[in-house]
Amino acid sequence: MSNPTLVLVVGAFDPSGSGSLPADAVTCARLGGHALSAITAVHVQDTVSTEDIQILSPELIDDQIRCVLEDMNIQAIKVGGLYNIESVRVLAQIAADYSHMPLMLHLEALPDNSLLEDDDPEEVLSALFELLLPQTNLVLAEHNLLAHWKTDGLLAGSDTDPPVRVLQEYGARWVLSTGFPIRPGHKACLLHGPEQATFNWEWQAPPPRLANPNGPLSCALAIELGKGSAMPQAVETALALAEPLAASTFQPGMGSRLINRSIP
């Protein structure tokens, strides 16, 4: 048997298993990868809401990542929750030191201001755009989230610039947006690349109140990039792998539905 693809997952620890760690580790295993983990923060969270976020020090985040990078031949890095500017700077420096390694960034909604002690989430997002996007091979985000950020002024550029183009202007090479309206009544997964190249695939709307619907896709993308697959083939393969996994859901608590990662 061939060895699994080694993916370093950088993100927060979610004890409910809704998303991020440890959900990403289970998902990577289901998709033929082996997830190594670097925790950036610890959530106090259930399926209803997040009550608290404890952010780890930038030194500890850096130590976790460099320890495994120096030991194993990691093939891709997947980055999720970064909640302060110092964490963004750590990842940006590591990305520069390991520039040969594919870096995939999964953009998600910002935490509520009340859950973060020092940094304004908008300033953290700005630092992420300026420091990390230029070193990112692929960005994954929901179209509605990007559109919301653009409306709120969190994405620079003129009013006529599509949000994905703004991300590319910051330096992102490829951007995959899910739920992109390509014509009235029809949405797609739209991949934007260099020289205005675009590719699209059919998009299945997730069930209502599903937590982290793009979680399986983000893991599949990181694994395919780690295998050395070229875009857009990596995206096409990842979509085919992630779609059946994301289609199986259950509701263990009083809040959101979760992806059922236990079904073979």
Range 148-174 average pLDDT: 88
- pLDDT level of residue 158 (50, 70, 90 thresholds): low
The CA–CA distances, whole Å, from 81 to 14, 91, 124, 159, 203 equal 11, 11, 11, 28, 24
Q: What per-residue confidence (pLDDT) applies to 2?
A: 85
Q: What is the average pLDDT across 177-197?
A: 94
Is 90 exceeded by the pLDDT of residue 200? yes
Residue 211 φ then ψ, to 5°: -80, 135
Range scoring the smallest mean pLDDT among 14-18, 63-67, 156-160, 194-198: 156-160
User: Looking at residues 56-79, what average pLDDT do you find?
Assistant: 98
3-state secondary structure of 37: strand
Residue 1 predicted with pLDDT over 90: no
Residues 47 and 19: beta-carbon distance below 8 Å: no
Calculate what percentage of the chain has a pLDDT beyond 90. 85
The mean pLDDT value for 96-103 works out to 98
- Indicate the pLDDT class of residue 110, thresholds 50, 70 and 90: confident
| Digit-coded pLDDT (tens) for 81-96 | 999 999 999 999 999 9
Domains of the chain: 5-259 (3.40.1190.20)
Alpha carbons 46 and 144: distance in angstroms, whole number: 24
Residues 43-60: tens digit of each pLDDT: 999 999 999 999 999 999
DSSP string, 242-255: HHHHHT-EE--SSS
Does a cis peptide bond (omega within 30 degrees of 0) precede residue 264? no
- Its pTM stands at 0.96
Cα distance between residue 165 and residue 86, in whole Å: 26
